[in-house]
Structure 1
Amino acid sequence: MKADINLKLIAGNANMDLAQAIARRMSVYRGMPVELANARVERFNDKEIFVEIFDNVRGEDVFILQSTCNPANDNLMELLIIADALKRSSASRITAVVPYFGYARQDRRTAARTPISAKLVANLMTEAGIDRVLTLDLHAGQIQGFFDIPVDNLYASPVFAMDIRHHFEDLSKVTIISPDVGGVARARELAKRLNLGLAIVDKRRSRPGEVDEMTIIGEVEGRTCIIVDDICDTAGTLCKAAQLLKDEGAEAVHAYITHGVLSGPAVERVKNSVMESLVITDSIPLSDEAKVAHNIRTVSVAPMLAQAILNVANDTSVSSLFSEQTLRPIYEAFYRFD
């Protein structure tokens, strides 16, 4: 690995804890301090966003660390304005590291006269001067095709697989659950990693956000069920699925969700649900309420993102991080591997 690569990290305000964790991990990997660039990202009285970068970035390979989570519009504009400032300051390459890609659920037209907002966001990011995107568990993989620049989509499943092996002693009693038909591929991929069975919760909706009927396809009686999905927003469907699994004889229900949006009543619903644990990544910062919830915990994707940034900077493989075997040395400080 080239220790003298011209690499700089700059963070927006969306998830400063994750940005600092990434910088710390990169310092460990490189054997030299890696600091966030000296910059200010602030708002005028009318909420206009202003960016000033104090470090010299001319000729540098710059990585912007910014999830476009709540408030999605503010965080997206921060990302675009930071990119514009870097472009006008002659950065050689600008990579947007967007652990949670907002607007990803608007990836197609669901009715007449509706937008494809994910495509619009892709256009905005490209026009702002971003040369490459590094993200995590896109809601729809085809969003990569909305960009005319390289997009690396990392997966939380290998990290989840390591965490499940660490926390569940007898995997022979575990079944992976897809909370809907659309998420079967994601759940199947994790089940395959762990050599576990798969069941599906089939939902029928009369309108968006409202579930009329839920049925289970597969055997869950006497099993420890792990629900796997990419986004938990209001947690209504997740908690209903957990209750249905318990009603059908599941011994215990857990959930592994990549992006914990947890808006509105979500945290209270999870706390009062039958789920013994909801495990989410730190792609989105947790609210104070979620931090103290007895059955919500996080696993960090900072080690994986830090390594991915170094791989991009060194022009080496990012897809190697899809492998548990590759990630194990990176996560040895988190888990004990026998």
Structure 2
Amino acid sequence: MLSAPLVNKVYLASGSVHRDLAEKIAAQMGVTLQNDEIKTFPSGERYFRYSESVRGKHVLIIQSLVTSESGTVNDALMELILMIDAARRASAREITVVMPYMAYMRQDRKAIGREPISAAAVINMLQRTGADRLVSVDMHSAQTQAVFDGPFDHLTAEGVIRSKLSAKIAGNNDDFIIVSPDGGRAKVSEIYAEELVIDVAHMPKRRDKEDSSVIKHPDFISDVKGKTCILIDDLIDTAGTIVSAAEVLKRSGARKVIVAATHGVLSNPALERLNNPAVSELMLTDTIPLRKAKIALKNKLVIIPSAPTIASSLEAIVSRDSLLQLFEGRNYL
């Protein structure tokens, strides 16, 4: 919790995407979440106005960039741009933009000619509008930090997810195994396995030559018979890859399959797919609103709070303390 002198120097604002999360962050920090004016004109254009003066203050803006009940992902991005611009024009001392989930981060390179690097375009847009610092959680590619000419803090939910998994393992280490759903998550899966003191296995995947949207896994994977398999990923979008991997594990004799990820984007038809009995349990942090997911998946979905991680990180930023110690260096992996 921030000290009283620092509280008076901070202005915490939330976009319309995930105010519930912002309220939890505010409570953790001991600051007031302001009730700023956000509306949409009949034309579809967004409007934003700070309810109180931000002159000379450190403005913290909370906005996940994702499609939600308040609009599309691009609505969320435009709303964030307006919030940054309003703070800069109102003489804020410093503007920190907190995106628990940051859209477009998977588009971090040119795969073919004549296409954009969308991650770079978004980051440049935020900086040119007036953001002094960016903060995000478990970015798809942490190297995109290099695009921003200034502090870009990469937080990780590894600790809170690992804590939840450790409680589930409860000393029965030989009964559990971490499974990497693809090569891109191999290193992270190995870190989880090392910290949880359980085995790790890797599952190769490839895209269908005729339809690149179709993911293919092997028909069988060894070493998982009779075990509870834990699939680790940074995000779940349409859930095709993760559910396909779960089906392979069940066919290979796995007792249960637990899926754990930081971000639940859950684009259609993700919820329908995740109701597949091959997935026994789904663990997600609440960096993205999960109200609809909880209704659809009921007790299968376990929601892990992200507010304590984000709030403690913002306290360190405002107090000019180190984030490296807070995450024990894991946020640089």
Q: Does the TM-score normalized on the shorter chain lie above 0.5?
A: yes
Report what 1:298 is aligned to: 303
Instruction: Indicate if the aligned counterparts of 1:203 and 1:215 stay in contact, CA closer than 8 A.
Output: no
- Give the drift of 1:289: 4.5
Equivalents in 1 of 2:220, 2:232: separation in Å? Answer: 15
The aligned amino acid for 1:273 is P
Report what 1:270 is aligned to: 274
Bigger mean CA offset, 166-175 vs 4-13: 166-175
C-alpha change, 1:104 and 1:274, in structure 2 (3 Å) is: same
TM-score by length of 2: 0.92
TM-score by length of 1: 0.90
Instruction: Indicate if the aligned counterparts of 1:242 and 1:274 stay in contact, CA closer than 8 A.
Output: yes
Equivalents in 2 of 1:138, 1:215: separation in Å? Answer: 30
Indicate the SS of the match to 2:253: coil
Bigger mean CA offset, 212-221 vs 190-199: 212-221
Equivalents in 2 of 1:267, 1:38: separation in Å? Answer: 32
Q: 2:245 aligns with which of 241, 261, 282?
A: 241
Report what 1:194 is aligned to: 196
The aligned amino acid for 1:81 is L
C-alpha change, 1:65 and 1:287, in structure 2 (3 Å) is: same
- Give the drift of 1:201: 1.4
Equivalences for 1:74-223 in 2 at 5 Å? 74-169=75-170, 170-206=172-208, 207-214=211-218, 219-223=223-227
Q: 5+ unaligned residues in a row in structure 2: which ranges? A: none
1:228 aligns with 2:232: yes
Report what 1:58 is aligned to: 55
Q: 5+ unaligned residues in a row in structure 1: which ranges? A: 28-33, 325-338
Equivalents in 2 of 1:218, 1:156: separation in Å? Answer: 29
The number of residues matched between the two structures is 319
Segments of 4+ moved more than 4 angstroms: 215-218
Equivalents in 1 of 2:294, 2:40: separation in Å? Answer: 27
Instruction: Indicate if the aligned counterparts of 1:202 and 1:216 stay in contact, CA closer than 8 A.
Output: no
Report what 2:13 is aligned to: 10
Indicate the SS of the match to 2:86: helix
Bigger mean CA offset, 207-216 vs 13-22: 207-216
Equivalents in 2 of 1:218, 1:283: separation in Å? Answer: 34
Equivalents in 2 of 1:291, 1:93: separation in Å? Answer: 39
The aligned amino acid for 2:301 is I
Equivalents in 1 of 2:102, 2:276: separation in Å? Answer: 29
C-alpha change, 1:292 and 1:212, in structure 2 (3 Å) is: closer
Indicate the SS of the match to 2:17: coil
The aligned amino acid for 1:201 is M
Identity rate of aligned residues, in percent?
A: 37
Q: 1:310 aligns with which of 290, 315, 321?
A: 315
- Give the drift of 1:191: 1.6
User: How much is the aligned-residue C-alpha RMSD, in angstroms?
Assistant: 1.7
- Give the drift of 1:114: 1.3
